[in-house]
A and B are shown apart, each in its own frame.
Chain A
Amino acid sequence: MANFPFYFTAAIAILATLLVVTRLNAVHALLYLIVSLIAVAMIFFLLGAPFVAALEVIIYAGAIMVLFVFVIMMLNLGHQSVEQEHVWYSPRAWAGPSVIAVLLLAEFILIIARHGGATTSANEIGPRATGIALFSTYLLGVELSSMLLLAGLVGAYHLGRRHQPYESVKGEP
């Protein structure tokens, strides 16, 4: 049963994702999605890809999910936000995600205690090999992705502006 951590993490990822799709409340779904992403990061670690595991936690579970939280909060400004917050952050809402996250943390600590921080995979590809391939073979792809991010920035700025009535825009030269 050397592969037990992988199956355990995979079960957690699938369970959390199932809960994301079936939640009715957007914030509850977000909490479960963060747990699911962390579980997938754990799978990456077990597969021997520590660089991608770190990226998954920092960018996916960190940055992208924070964007979602911001937008959900912005959409709710007009209503009775305080009561809404009470409902969203009731103990029942965060108990489920935190129990799953604690399970993942326990597994992670167990693996680190047993293997001393190294990944357990037989075929590990470290950040060094990944970085060398990224900036030699795939240099053009890196440039293109920077342009894609710039286009995303400009597009989000343009679309995110307040909607103005057509008449007021028409009068300008």
Chain B
Amino acid sequence: MVTIPIGHGLIVAGILFILGLVGVLTRRNIVFILLSLEIMLNAAGLAFVVAGSRWQQPDGQIMFFFILTMAAAEVSVGLALVLQLHQRFKTLDADAASNMHG
């Protein structure tokens, strides 16, 4: 029976979150931006589960469950937006949609 130190688990979650954040900030392909968002949501869920495991409460896992639901809804809407962007501008560059046609 082993216990994983909470600090190490949180450090892993932090590294994953920062990698996702770097992806969102540096990539301009909108599919990669969505993928990086998924990485960030997943890292946040990992932090919840690590904390829940430390205090032996199921609440952390339930928070992960809600994050999972939110990620599923966000991805379906986001990918529909990707399809629209591709239809209108024939590109996946996020900067192509930076102007509003008021």
Binding site for B on A (CB under 8 A): 2-3, 6-7, 10, 13-14, 17-18, 20-21, 26, 29-30, 33, 36-37, 40, 43-44, 46-49, 51-52, 55-56, 59-60, 63-64, 67-68, 71-72, 74-75, 120-123, 125, 129-130, 132-134, 138, 141, 145, 148-149, 151-153, 155-160, 162-163
Contact = CB atoms under 8 A, between A and B. Distances in A.
Contact of B76 (A51, A67, A132): A67
B69 interface: yes
Contacts of A120: 1-2
B76 A156 contact: yes
Task: Classify chain B's interface size.
Answer: 35 or more
Given A29-B32, A125-B56, A155 B80 contact: yes
Given A40-B46, A152-B76, A125 B53 contact: yes
Contact of B70 (A14, A43, A148, A162): A148
Closest 9 CB pairs of A and B: A152-B73, A159-B80, A160-B80, A21-B23, A122-B1, A156-B76, A145-B69, A2-B2, A133-B58
Interface string B52-95: 11101111111011101111111111011111101110001000
